């Protein structure tokens, strides 16, 4: 029998794989043994399903330092959470301050709202080290803003934007933090980071299933729901409930997914975010250092003061990133993500638009040996193209 | 024989609040249960928290300290439930 090479999965920034231990079992257990619709009936299976959503919410609140779990809305992911925040909060003629490092999950709804609500999007310059231009921040806050939107970690370079420094200056302006890349592998603390709206996904570094995520809405923030419909509560009334979380959770939640996310969150808190970060930092630092040493390879984001090291975007001189990623997959069974990674704004900012980069993103379950194999593979590919072109 | 005794019901606006109330009370108040709301009572969420009548006041006070306010409180007198003013 022909030996099949083991897969090396370095695409954890797109979605993590494998998931945390216990996640597949929790999803299967829900589907096999619980199954009912949470909050839609008083029978014991429905209550059991509602308990899973309750426990998932509570667990996520412990992880993020949120006191009132009613204010954590369970969504299908960060994109829905961001859309809920942006579409629900921004009025006609709004002014928003955001960064050039945003994902399309932020930029596309913002561009849509800019058109439909005649709003204004102001970009806050971020320097190579990740520091925002504080003079611009102060000036724009003084001119009046409805919202500040910040990508906590750029999904192209891994560069961390300091939320705490921004929140210190923001005054009454709400801060929406997109923590899609950081939740689970970098400290995110709603209270001390001064976050008013926290959008997260469950399927990246939280190590949970796809189709899970959430939005935390701080007290005092007024938001309209994205969708309206059945909630299992207030059924005699044809108007949408005005209380949390039901106001924002019309339709049946992804209960099976949330059972998995609960298992994942518990795993992360047991391992601790700090130890996960430390392991990923070591793998990422090894990857970045060894790739940087290869002639013809450019590694992006090295100037950042604070970074998710495991997000490692590179280019090979004169070679299309898609071709490199294809060779890594087909010949070496190494999974990477080529191109723009849904973040054209970030690529324009680092000068890699429109071809993009090859992104390696090792995760908690990868090993140093896998990093070394990936580096060897890149070295071979560089030599091959060098010979072909030379 | 708790199951046969008269019970009081705490109704909340959401299932989340019912389960949050249960979480806060379960270590302190014995014999609490999440139950379907009897059909003669209207409810926003279909389930309520059942407590022993003699622990009702303690339960309400504890929940208020946690920021959880029952929407309505009912006590069973004979075969009928009557609404109780929550302090």
Each residue's pLDDT tens digit, A112-162? 999 999 999 999 999 988 899 999 999 999 999 999 999 999 999 999 999
Q: How confident is the model at residue B84 (pLDDT cuts 50, 70, 90)?
A: confident
Q: How confident is the model at residue B81 (pLDDT cuts 50, 70, 90)?
A: confident
Average pLDDT of the segment spanning A348-356: 90
Q: Which chain B positions have a beta carbon within 8 Å of A246's beta carbon?
A: 13-14, 16
Q: What angle do CA A33, A35, A36 make, to 5 degrees?
A: 130
**Under 8 Å between Cβ of A77 and A179:** no
Q: Which chain A positions have a beta carbon within 8 Å of B44's beta carbon?
A: 233-235, 241
Percent of chain B topping pLDDT 70: 85
Q: How confident is the model at residue A29 (pLDDT cuts 50, 70, 90)?
A: very high
Distance from CA of B84 to the nearest CA of A (A): 21
End-to-end CA distance of chain B: 29
User: So what's the pLDDT on residue B2?
Assistant: 43
CB contact under 8 A, B46 and A40: yes
User: So what's the pLDDT on residue A278?
Assistant: 97
Q: How confident is the model at residue A389 (pLDDT cuts 50, 70, 90)?
A: confident
Q: How confident is the model at residue A373 (pLDDT cuts 50, 70, 90)?
A: very high
Average pLDDT of the segment spanning A82-94: 98
Q: Which chain B positions have a beta carbon within 8 Å of A47's beta carbon?
A: 34, 47
Q: Is A390 a residue whose pLDDT tops 80?
A: no
Q: How confident is the model at residue A313 (pLDDT cuts 50, 70, 90)?
A: very high
Residue A254 CA to residue A73 CA, distance in Å, equals: 12
Cα dihedral sign for B37, B43, B44, B49? negative
Pairing, β B72-77 against β B8-11: antiparallel
pLDDT in tens, A182-224: 999 999 999 999 999 999 999 999 999 999 999 999 999 999 9
Q: How confident is the model at residue A347 (pLDDT cuts 50, 70, 90)?
A: confident
Give me the total of CB pairs closer than 8 Å, taking one residue from chain A and one from chain B: 61
Average pLDDT of the segment spanning A291-312: 93
Select the residue of A50, A58, A244 nearest B15 (Cβ to Cβ): A50
> Exposed, middle or buried by CB within 10 Å (0-12, 13-18, 19+), for A60?
buried
Q: How confident is the model at residue B5 (pLDDT cuts 50, 70, 90)?
A: low
> Measured between alpha carbons, how far is residue A84 from residues A11, A81, A99, A204 in Å?
27, 5, 19, 20
Q: How confident is the model at residue B17 (pLDDT cuts 50, 70, 90)?
A: very high
The residues of A whose Cβ lies within 8 A of any Cβ of B are 38-43, 46-47, 50-51, 53-54, 57-58, 68-70, 232-236, 241, 243-246
Percent of chain B topping pLDDT 90: 56
Q: Supply the angle between the helices B56-65 and B15-25 in degrees, to the nearest 10.
A: 110
User: So what's the pLDDT on residue A146?
Assistant: 98
Select the residue of B17, B36, B67 nearest A42 (Cβ to Cβ): B36
Of A321 and A343, the structure prediction assigns the larger pLDDT to: A321
CB contact under 8 A, A47 and B13: no
Distance from CA of B36 to the nearest CA of A (A): 4
Nearest CA in chain A to B38: A42
Nearest by Cα to A292 from A105, B51, A284, A69: A284
User: So what's the pLDDT on residue B3?
Assistant: 47
Q: Is A263 a residue whose pLDDT tops 50?
A: yes
pTM: 0.94
Q: Is A275 a residue whose pLDDT tops 60?
A: yes
Pairing, β A72-75 against β A95-98: unpaired
Residue A340 CB contacts under 8 Å (≥ 6 apart), including other chains: A347, A353, A354, A356
Q: Which chain A positions have a beta carbon within 8 Å of B16's beta carbon?
A: 50, 53-54, 57, 69-70, 245-246
Q: Is B44 a residue whose pLDDT tops 70?
A: no
> Measured between alpha carbons, how far is residue A357 from residues A154, A363, A384, B24 in Å?
14, 19, 19, 50
Distance from CA of A150 to the nearest CA of B (A): 30
DSSP per-residue string spanning A231-247: -SSSTT-SSPP-STTGG
3-state secondary structure of A277: helix
Q: Which chain B positions have a beta carbon within 8 Å of A248's beta carbon?
A: none
Distance from CA of B46 to the nearest CA of A (A): 6
Cα within 13 Å of Cα(A86), Cβ side: 32
Distance from CA of B77 to the nearest CA of A (A): 22
Average pLDDT of the segment spanning A31-52: 93
**Under 8 Å between Cβ of A171 and A358:** no
**Bond into A333 cis (ω within 30):** no
Percent of chain A topping pLDDT 90: 86
CB contact under 8 A, A233 and B17: no
Residue A94 CA to residue A35 CA, distance in Å, equals: 43
Residue A382 CB contacts under 8 Å (≥ 6 apart), including other chains: A294, A295, A296, A297, A316
> Measured between alpha carbons, how far is residue A239 from residues A140, A230, A233, A234, B43 in Å?
38, 10, 11, 9, 16
Average pLDDT of the segment spanning A352-379: 96
Q: How confident is the model at residue A353 (pLDDT cuts 50, 70, 90)?
A: very high
Residue A72's region, left for phi above 0, alpha for psi from -120 to 50, else beta, is: beta
Residue A54 CB contacts under 8 Å (≥ 6 apart), including other chains: A69, B15, B16, B19, B20, B23
pLDDT in tens, A13-23: 999 999 999 99
> Measured between alpha carbons, how far is residue A270 from residues A61, A63, A266 in Å?
15, 11, 6
Residue B40 CA to residue A183 CA, distance in Å, equals: 46
Distance from CA of B7 to the nearest CA of A (A): 17
Q: How confident is the model at residue B1 (pLDDT cuts 50, 70, 90)?
A: very low
CB contact under 8 A, A70 and B16: yes
User: So what's the pLDDT on residue A4?
Assistant: 64
* Bridge partners of residue A337, in order along the sequence: A359
Q: Which chain B positions have a beta carbon within 8 Å of A234's beta carbon?
A: 13, 44
Mean pLDDT computed over every residue of chain A: 95
User: So what's the pLDDT on residue A3?
Assistant: 57
CB contact under 8 A, B36 and A40: no
Q: Is A61 a residue whose pLDDT tops 50?
A: yes
Nearest CA in chain B to A51: B19
Q: Is A2 a residue whose pLDDT tops 60?
A: no
CB contact under 8 A, A42 and B23: no
Ranking A180-184, A302-306, A323-327 by mean pLDDT, the lowest is A302-306
Q: How confident is the model at residue A232 (pLDDT cuts 50, 70, 90)?
A: confident
Percent of chain A topping pLDDT 70: 99
CB contact under 8 A, B20 and A54: yes
Select the residue of A38, A68, A243 nearest B13 (Cβ to Cβ): A243
> Please, what's the b/e burial string for A263-290 (b: 16 or more CB within 10 A of its CB; e: otherwise)?
bbbbbbeeeebeebbebbbebbebbbeb
Average pLDDT of the segment spanning B69-83: 86
Residue A32 CA to residue A155 CA, distance in Å, equals: 36
């Amino acid at each position: 029998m022909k030996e099949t090479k083991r897969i090396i999965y370095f695409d954890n920034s797109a979605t993590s794989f494998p998931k945390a231990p216990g996640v597949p079992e929790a999803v299967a257990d829900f589907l096999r043994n619980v199954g009912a619709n949470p909050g839609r009936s008083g029978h014991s299976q429905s209550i059991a399903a509602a308990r899973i959503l309750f426990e998932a919410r509570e667990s996520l609140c412990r992880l993020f330092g949120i006191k009132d779990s009613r204010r954590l809305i369970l969504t299908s992911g960060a994109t829905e959470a961001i859309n809920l925040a942006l579409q629900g909060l921004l009025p006609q003629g709004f002014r928003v301050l955001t960064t050039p490092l945003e994902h399309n999950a932020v930029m596309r709804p913002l561009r849509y709202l800019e058109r439909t609500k005649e709003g204004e999007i102001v970009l806050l310059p971020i320097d190579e080290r990740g520091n925002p231009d504080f003079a611009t921040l102060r000036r724009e806050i003084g001119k009046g803003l409805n919202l500040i939107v910040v990508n906590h970690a750029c999904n192209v370079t891994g560069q961390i934007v300091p939320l705490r420094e921004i929140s210190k200056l923001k005054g009454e302006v709400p801060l929406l933090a997109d923590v899609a890349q950081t939740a689970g592998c970098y400290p995110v603390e709603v209270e001390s980071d001064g976050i008013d709206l926290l959008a997260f996904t469950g399927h990246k570094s939280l190590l949970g299933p796809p189709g899970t995520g959430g939005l935390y809405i701080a007290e005092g923030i007024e938001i309209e729901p994205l969708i309206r419909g059945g909630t299992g509560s207030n059924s005699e009334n044809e108007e949408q409930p005005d209380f949390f979380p039901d106001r924002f959770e019309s339709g049946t939640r992804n209960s099976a997914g949330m059972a998995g996310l609960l298992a994942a969150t518990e795993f992360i808190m047991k391992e601790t975010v700090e130890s996960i970060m430390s392991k990923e930092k070591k793998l990422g630092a090894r990857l970045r250092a060894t790739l940087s040493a290869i002639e013809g390879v450019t590694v992006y984001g090295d100037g950042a003061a604070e970074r998710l090291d495991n997000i490692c975007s590179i280019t090979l001189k004169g070679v299309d990133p898609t071709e490199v990623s294809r060779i890594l997959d087909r010949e070496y069974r190494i999974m990477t993500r080529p191109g723009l990674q849904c973040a054209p704004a970030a690529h324009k900012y680092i000068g890699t638009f429109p071809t993009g980069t090859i992104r390696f993103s090792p995760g908690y379950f990868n090993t140093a040996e896998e990093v070394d194999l990936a580096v060897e593979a890149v070295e071979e590919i560089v030599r091959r193209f060098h010979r072909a072109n030379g | 024989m708790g199951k046969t005794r008269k019970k009081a019901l705490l109704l909340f606006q959401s299932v989340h609040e019912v389960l949050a109330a249960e979480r806060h009370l379960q270590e302190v108040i014995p014999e609490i249960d999440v139950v379907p709301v009897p059909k003669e009572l209207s409810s926003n969420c279909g389930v309520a928290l059942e407590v022993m009548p003699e622990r009702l006041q303690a339960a309400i006070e504890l929940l208020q300290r946690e920021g959880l306010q029952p929407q309505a409180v009912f006590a069973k007198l004979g075969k009928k439930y009557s609404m109780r003013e929550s302090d």
